[in-house]
Amino acid sequence: MVPATNPSRLDRGSPTGTEKGVSLIELMVALAIGLALILVISYAYVGSKQTFRTQEALSRMQETARFVFETLGFDIRMAGFTGCGNTATAVNTVNGSTDWDKNILLAPLIGYEGGVSTFPSGVSGNVLRGDALTVLRGDGSDYSITSHNPTAASIQLAANHDIKQGEILIATDCQHTAVFQMSNVNNNNTVSVVVHNSGGATSPGNCTKGLGSPLLCTANGNPYTFGPGSKLMRMSSMNYHIRTNANGEPALYRLRLGANTTGAATQFAEELAEGVSDMQITFGEDTGTDKQIDQYVTANAVTDWTKVLSVRISLLIASTGNTAYTTEPQAYTYNGTTTTPTDRRLRKVFDMTIAVRNRLP
């Protein structure tokens, strides 16, 4: 008879035993290896995440620079545009026509040197740092004029429009150009634009409602008429500068001339791009008569703004928010000055030169 086996007396270390396990040393080695793997994977993950965040921030900075240069570039290239060449006889009948935001015929492009120049109204006191730039142009809305009754101060257009009372407009037939302000309420987007009644009061005859005096009055004293096929467009007035936005961050702003609900010409401050910390501008000036750039100078050194043929813009753009992207403070050099900020943000300088297309041969 075979005696019964007593499980409590099995040799647990025997290869024929029914239970197996690991020793304490083997367990500690396995834990150490696992911990090492976790540390390596965690380090790789953190490094990969930081690299991704850095690349994303750099991409956003490049996108900001691209957007700013596209916006500024379009305005600068079209500075002074009124629908035709510069040979047309021109007159500005707007009240305060020499204000920076209305003086398109004489000063469509002007720069202001930070710390030296006097900034214009609406800009002065709001600039955080850097330079400012004013650009005026026709916006290319290009409404076609079918008839003009200067005595009634009425211009009829070929199609409905959305022009509002108080907006500054440009009319041209490429022989004469007039800048004026729409003075009546535009009800239901009708095609009739009624202009102000000023201009021509010192001329003889019926030129009391002409668009300017005496340039746009005929020889017999009658007001000049813009015939069918003439063009009408809005005037775009912009000043670009650096301000502090609602988040306490530096940003590129533009001060835009528009009309408020009561029909008055009003300036509106609009944020374009956050993170633009500084903007330095120099101007390519033709000091002779050959339409060639002879020198690049700051705004306070320009001798004749009508001879500025190009604008060179340098932007200092920083990453936004309170995120630190570097392990140590990083020095950068901008506008001849080296700075080492402690916020550990990313900063990069972007440069671009833009031609004033309307002034080139």
- Reported as a single tens digit per residue, the pLDDT across 301-344 is 999 999 999 999 999 999 987 777 777 888 999 999 999 998 88
Extents of the domains making up the chain: 58-359
**Per-residue pLDDT at 215:** 54
Q: Could you tell me the CA-to-CA distances from 54 to 106, 323, 348 in Å, in that order? A: 46, 10, 13
Whether the predicted pLDDT of 201 surpasses 50:
no
Kindly indicate the confidence band of residue 36, based on its pLDDT and cuts at 50, 70 and 90.
confident
Max distance between CA atoms of the chain, in angstroms, equals 146
Q: What's the per-residue H, E or C state across 73-101?
A: HHHHHCCCCCCCCCCCEEEECCCCCCCCC
Whether the predicted pLDDT of 204 surpasses 70:
no
- Reported as a single tens digit per residue, the pLDDT across 102-142 is 999 899 999 999 999 999 999 999 999 999 999 999 997 88
Q: Which of 164-178, 270-284, 321-335 holds the top average pLDDT?
A: 270-284
Q: Between residues 201 and 357, which one has the greater pLDDT?
A: 357
Whether the predicted pLDDT of 143 surpasses 80:
yes
Q: How far, in Å, CA of 208 to CA of 183, rounded?
A: 16
Q: How far, in Å, CA of 319 to CA of 276, rounded?
A: 9
